[in-house]
Amino acid sequence: MQFQQLAYFVAVAEHRHFTRAAEHMRVAQPSLSQQIRALEHDLGAPLFHRIRGNVSLTEAGETLLPIARRILAEIEGARRAIRELDELERGRVRLGAPPSLCTGLLPAILSAFRRRYPGIQLELHESGSGDLRQRLAEGALDLALLAGPRHPGDHQLSTTELLLEELVLISSGDAWESARTRLAVRELADVPLVMFRRGYDVREVTVNACRAAGFEPSFAIEGGEMDAVLELVRAGVGAAVVPSTVAGGRFRMTRFATDAGMTRIVQLAYRKDVDPTRAVRALRSAIVAFIADPARRSELPPGTEPLVDYGELGLVDRSV
């Protein structure tokens, strides 16, 4: 069994097509097919069903796929560690975060980090927390800021709670009116909402809160990303539940009752089974230290409450 064969196998499994997998791997299709057959011969079992051009995994293929991904991730980690012997000068970190945190929290953190480590290449990936959790588990990210309700323990990920963030209801001012300064969740029953697409933590928190209050929320429109949701609200299509950090002064904002549970936890997450490079450890430490530092509290977005302090910085690698 060769590492390249595993890479070809994963490519075919993900693309469900030999030609597209070969194009992705930049190899001739006959060569890729030959390597897959050699791998199947070594394992003593077919990995794919090949029926009239349709490719699907056999039971053996389904068993091998997560193992192959884990092996390839470890190989890439080893290569990266060797390439980046001087990681704090030439390292790379792939960081994922929801759009609200990319605009409200990360700019100040990443600006300070770049000043200290100008040689480290940062790759920022924006998406909903559900998507980021999956990409982190698959090895496509080194770190991710995840936001949402507290999740049960994940055997793959280590998480550190960073912030408690308030959710608020925003409207254009005439799309929905209330004289109350605090809102109960049940009052959303008659409010048409502009709702994020599936995969966004705010959608999960809002829908779960409405169901706990005994009703299904009404959607004026659904499926948007953060920028689209804000623009639709501005246009008067409906109201939206959003993190307080993105509400700003552009919308009419109503806060929820303190016992409504309309908050989300911001966590820093990374895989347990991958040894992080020094560059990854440096960014991980910088994020936690920034939020824990009392002197920087004024730089945190409004509507957030730190959940870490300097007495709880066991995560921080002080050597960097």
pLDDT tens digits for range 20-37: 999 999 999 999 999 999
CA 134/CA 99 separation, integer angstroms: 17
More confident residue, 275 or 155: 275
* pLDDT range class, residue 179, cuts 50, 70, 90: low
Which of 134, 143, 137 minimizes the C-alpha distance to 101? 143
| pLDDT average, residue stretch 302-312 | 75
Q: Which amino acid is at 231?
A: E
Interior CA angle at 68 toward 274 and 49, to 5°? 155
Spatial neighbors of 4 by CB under 8 A, at least 6 apart, are 35
| pLDDT average, residue stretch 161-168 | 90
Spatial neighbors of 51 by CB under 8 A, at least 6 apart, are none
Query: Domain 164-263 belongs to what topology?
Result: D-Maltodextrin-Binding Protein; domain 2 (3.40.190)
* pLDDT range class, residue 320, cuts 50, 70, 90: very low
Q: Are the C-beta atoms of residues 71 and 47 closer than 8 Å to each other?
A: no
One fold for 3-83 and 87-163+266-312: no
Q: Which amino acid is at 6?
A: L
* pLDDT range class, residue 41, cuts 50, 70, 90: very high
Is the confidence at residue 200, as pLDDT, over 70?
Answer: yes
C-beta neighbour count of 60 within 10 angstroms: 15
Three-state SS at 305: strand
Task: Report pLDDT for 195.
Answer: 94
The highest-level CATH class for domain 87-163+266-312 is alpha beta
Taking only the tens place, the pLDDT of each residue in 79-121 is 876 765 566 777 889 999 998 888 878 998 999 999 999 989 9
Taking only the tens place, the pLDDT of each residue in 209-259 is 999 999 999 999 998 888 899 999 989 899 999 988 887 667 888 888 877
Task: Report pLDDT for 174.
Answer: 57
Region label for 21, one of left (φ > 0), alpha (ψ between -120 and 50) or beta (otherwise): alpha
Provide the residue ranges of all domains of the chain, joining segments of one domain with +: 3-83, 87-163+266-312, 164-263
* pLDDT range class, residue 43, cuts 50, 70, 90: very high
CA 293/CA 310 separation, integer angstroms: 7
How far CA 111 is from CA of 92, 105, 151, 194, 301, in Å, comes to: 16, 11, 30, 32, 15
CA 238/CA 236 separation, integer angstroms: 5
More confident residue, 315 or 293: 293
Does domain 3-83 bear CATH number 3.90.480.20?
no
Task: Report pLDDT for 260.
Answer: 80
Task: Report pLDDT for 180.
Answer: 60
Q: pTM of the entire structure?
A: 0.64
Average pLDDT, the chain: 86
**Rounded to the nearest 5°, which phi and psi values hold at 49?**
-85, 125
More confident residue, 141 or 105: 141
Task: Report pLDDT for 318.
Answer: 45
